[in-house]
Structure 1
Amino acid sequence: MFSPYLDSALLIFLYMNLLFLLALWKRDNSIVDVGWGLGFVLVAWWIHLYYPHPLSWLPAVLVSIWGLRLAGHIGRRKDREKKEDWRYAKWREEWGKWVVPRSYLQVFLLQGFFMWIVALPLMQRPAEAGLAWYQWIGIAVWLLGFLWEAIADWQLARFKSRPEKKGQLMMGGLWRLSRHPNYFGEIVLWWGLWLLMLPYG
């Protein structure tokens, strides 16, 4: 083991390469969307196991709850659609003979880099025992973001399941407040994790 930062970078690099090989085999780059949340779970537990401290289990559990829910949600959607997500299919067509190297660099390695950046709070070392008052606020912020994302995903899935709504934009519920409330919730929960890990970095 080298350091939490380097270990996590190497782990994510290996993980993204395995996802890329799976995507090549299935001809489906949108597999990376399912793998996104699971990658964070992998990093969180790696940090907990190899760089443990009295509270390292807490971010690992919170990230697991988020990552497993997100992977399950996207996986169920992919199972219903049974095809590559339209965004990745469009890129596949546009990239032509360069689809393999561009997929590797622009889809898998680029997302791996973003994953490492977002996961930086998980790699911090402990500075003190116990939770400070603002760390409890961080947990509350995480919970708010998690529920916001989960509810937004549920509302959109329910909307899309209604045949009469096909081709229409979701404008109710949390989607009335933002064009991408699920992404907003994800951003909020990661800021909550940052606040939780603040005294450790």
Structure 2
Amino acid sequence: MNVIQLLMLNAVLISIAMTLLWLLSIRLQDVSIVDIFWGLGFVLIAWATFAVTSETLRSSLLVIMTTIWGVRLATYLAWRNHGKGEDSRYKAMRDKRGDSFWWVSFMTVFGLQGAVMWLVSLPVQVGQTDETPLGIMHYVGMIIWLVGFLFEAVGDYQLAKFKSDPQVQSKVMDQGLWRYTRHPNYFGNALVWWGIFLVSASSSTLWLVVSPIVMTFLLLKVSGVALLERDLAGRSSEYRDYIRRTNAFIPWPPKCDQAGNIR
């Protein structure tokens, strides 16, 4: 099977999976299930590709890295969202679209996420067809992936622990990794995909860099940092103070005033 056939096969697989998920969302009246499936969709693509390509050290690494990342993310989101009903973003869309929401959601939510999933997963797909030996760049990619995974997982854990503490006084999480970046989980997510790209790439497939570029752009400008901060900054003066002293994405020590106090 050549690369084009592989990409087409996975496109069909994603289309079927997202269609079935959409039908389930209609039955459950809850589009939020698409967020839980996001990580698992990449796992599905990784293993489907592994099943039809030759097994190499690179392909095994890509499958393992993708599976660990995707299963952890899906498990965390399922736990976080359990019993909370449909996400407010989708509720607002449902209210706006009314009776037409059922078919609009197919294109604007499930279809769009499926297309993005196929695009971002290109290194996982194409990388498994590359049988060239691993070099320094690939091992650096593994380290970057590990750092990113830890940032994402630890950041999520710290935030969940913070929110579960009834004694906490501050309404803004500015401890642990959150002291150095307002979004350690999104920063870690971006690093994960830069790491996967580096593990997958060779001199002939550097074009796969489109994957981490797209993922980083989405996290910064579309579904991640920008979307969340429009909401939080509008309702909390404490969060606006947090914005002034803490980097949005790349970790960095918090800003201090002239007296050396953290602003």
TM-score, normalised on structure 1?
Answer: 0.92
Computed over aligned residues only, the root mean square deviation of the Cα atoms, in angstroms, reads 1.8
Structure 2: distance between partners of 1:176 and 1:4: 43
1:109 and 2:103 matched: no
2:209 maps to: none
Structure 2: distance between partners of 1:52 and 1:13: 24
In structure 2, which of residues 66, 69, 78 is the aligned counterpart of residue 66 of structure 1? 69
The percentage of aligned residue pairs carrying the same residue is 42
Letter in 2 for 1:160: K
Shift of 1:165: 4.9
Deviations 1:86-119 (A, max 9, x none): 2222221122122112211111111111101110
Shift of 1:194: 0.3
In structure 1, which of residues 10, 17, 22 is the aligned counterpart of residue 24 of structure 2? 22
Letter in 2 for 1:163: P
Q: Which runs of 5+ in 1 are unaligned?
A: none
Structure 2: distance between partners of 1:194 and 1:86: 33
1:132 and 2:118 matched: no
Work out whether residues 53 and 126 of structure 1, in 8 Å CA contact, stay in contact via their aligned partners in 2: no
1:119 and 2:117 matched: no
1:193 and 2:196 matched: yes
Work out whether residues 50 and 63 of structure 2, in 8 Å CA contact, stay in contact via their aligned partners in 1: yes
Bigger CA drift: 144-153 or 83-92?
83-92
Q: Which runs of 5+ in 2 are unaligned?
A: 206-263
State the secondary structure of the residue aligned to 1:52: coil
Shift of 1:179: 2.8
In structure 2, which of residues 168, 172, 176 is the aligned counterpart of residue 169 of structure 1? 172
1:152 maps to: 155
Shift of 1:149: 0.3
Shift of 1:166: 9.1
Shift of 1:58: 1.3
TM-score, normalised on structure 2?
Answer: 0.71
1:7 and 2:12 matched: no
Q: Which of structures 1 and 2 has the bigger CA Rg?
A: 2
2:100 maps to: 98
Work out whether residues 160 and 166 of structure 1, in 8 Å CA contact, stay in contact via their aligned partners in 2: no
Shift of 1:120: 0.5
2:247 maps to: none
Number of residue pairs aligned between Structure 1 and Structure 2:
199
Runs of 4+ in 1 over 4 A off after TM superposition: 164-167
Bigger CA drift: 131-140 or 87-96?
87-96
